[in-house]
Amino acid sequence: MKYVIIGASAAGINAAKTLRELDSSNEIVIISKDNNVYSRCMLHHVISGNRDLEKIAFEDKDFFSKYNIRWVKGIEVIDISTDKKEVILENDKIEKYDKLLIATGASSFIPPVKNLREAKGVYSLRNYDDVLNIEEGIKKSKKAVILGAGLVGIDAAIGLMERGVKLSIVEMANRILPLQLDQKGADRYQKLFRTKDIDIYTSVRLEEVILKEGGFVDKVKLSDGTLLECDMIVVAAGVRPNVGFIKDEHIKIDKGIVIDKNCRTTLTDVYAAGDVTFTAPIWPIAVKQGIAAAYNMYGKEKLFDDTFALRNSMNFLGLESVSLGVVEAPYSRYTIDIIETKDVYKKIIHKDGIVYGAILIGDIDYCGVLHQLIKYKINISNINKNIFKIDYSDFFSIKQDGQYKYEAL
């Protein structure tokens, strides 16, 4: 039995580790474009100078030898021959497989704004190479524009903040982090960014990139006419799954590779996990999909059913926050409870005993319980407590081996 995994990030690595824990003898191969194993969530710490490539690894250096995994690194997969059960590499080498896991992740998407795709000095923030390119860019830049104030865009801003480049953030929505925060929440962070002399432009689109000699970025024009001078642009406008190498129509692709609850694609013996499936582009889901896929590849049934994607924690500029579920009440029949003080903003959206969303800023202690309540729609009607004081004691249930559980589930 030979297991082949394409991709060496959250899903791929965890799948390989799990496979080895289940199957001590058969061959496991990881093929990756990456030359290193690192956490993409921490790339901005490399830009800021706080860490280097080694310090953003999420596994030990001896991972591959310890788990006896063969790593074909720095090589791109260009095709899969599904009837021959072969993976074709860019150097024309072949890797046969018995079970295949596609965990190739996603890549940054550059929107078709005028001159954006052609300009020099335009960067993404998705891979380590991007970081190296941005390093070069910083050397020649005094001003930078960050396109998109989602998580990646804000990360980019945090990374570049201390590098001596004047930053402007451009966001389509009426606030930064529009999927994670409401207006009041976003305002708290926007205020903090302003103290760092970072300009934020909301409710505007990027209309045009104006080039200078040599094809380099010179200015950007926004939809409201504003012109911003800049030497570099970091695009954080979304990602697209890396499925370009899949030509076989038997592998169904929708927003991403389509998988069932066992992480199986529509093709036998081919599995997929992580951002390439576009289930929800967050780390824990990639990890769990990788683990579930591994079990199923090994032959042990395991369901992946944690698709709850609306969850994020953030920690910028000394202010930590957690966002769960919806950030605004869908309509007026919902109850909204709020705590608002100088340092803390908390909002819980609920109806008829079910919590639908929560934003916690400045105090996220012990908030994991809210996550459970929202994810599993656990009814809290008969818990006669201030909603902000509800904690696990109200669901306390202990198994024989001492682990906790929720009775309701």
Partner 1 sequence: MKRIMINKDLCSACLNCYMACMAEHNKNGKSVFDVDLEDIENEGRNYITIDKEGKPVPIFCRHCDEPECVNTCMSGAMTKDKKTGIVSYNKEKCASCFMCVMSCPYGVLKPDSKSKTVVVKCDMCDGREIPRCVENCPTGAIYLEEVDC
Residue 368 as a binder of partner 1 (CB under 8 A): the answer is yes
Tokens of 178: 């529009």
**Residue with Cβ nearer partner 1 (24 or 332):** 24
Map residues 252-291 to x or -, x wherever contact with partner 1 holds by CB under 8 A: -------------------------------xx--xx--x
Distance CA 61, CA 53 (A): 12
For the CB of residue 51, give the shortest distance to partner 1 in the complex, in Å.
Answer: 8
For the CB of residue 66, give the shortest distance to partner 1 in the complex, in Å.
Answer: 12
Residue 67 as a binder of partner 1 (CB under 8 A): the answer is no
First to last CA, the chain: 37
Print the SS3 string covering 171-237: CCCCCCCCCCCCHHHHHHHHHHHHHCCCEEECCCCEEEEEECHHHEEEEEEECCCCEEECCEEEECC
Number of residues that make up the chain: 409
Distance CA 181, CA 168 (A): 20
Applying CB under 8 A, which part among 34-42, 98-106, 114-122, 190-198 lies near partner 1? 34-42
**Residue with Cβ nearer partner 1 (39 or 223):** 39
Residues paired with residue 240 on neighbouring β-strands, in sequence order: 107
Residue 300 as a binder of partner 1 (CB under 8 A): the answer is no
Map residues 327-366 to x or -, x wherever contact with partner 1 holds by CB under 8 A: -------------------------------------xxx
Residue 128 as a binder of partner 1 (CB under 8 A): the answer is no
For the CB of residue 239, give the shortest distance to partner 1 in the complex, in Å.
Answer: 16
Please pick, from the candidates 225, 332, 403, 407, the single residue that binds partner 1 as defined by CB under 8 A: 403
Tokens of 91: 């150097």
Q: Are 385 and 353 in contact (CB under 8 A)?
A: no
Q: What is the DSSP string of 256-299?
A: SB---TTSB-SSTTEEE-GGGGTS--SHHHHHHHHHHHHHHHHT
For the CB of residue 340, give the shortest distance to partner 1 in the complex, in Å.
Answer: 19
Tokens of 360: 């916690």
Distance CA 291, CA 20 (A): 11
**Ranges within 377-396 binding partner 1 (CB under 8 A):** 383-385, 391-394, 396
Please pick, from the candidates 10, 72, 154, 326, the single residue that binds partner 1 as defined by CB under 8 A: 10
Query: What residues line the site for partner 1 (CB under 8 A)?
Result: 10, 21, 39, 41-42, 45, 55-60, 283-284, 287-288, 291, 311-315, 318, 320, 322, 324, 364-372, 383-385, 391-394, 396, 398, 401-404, 406
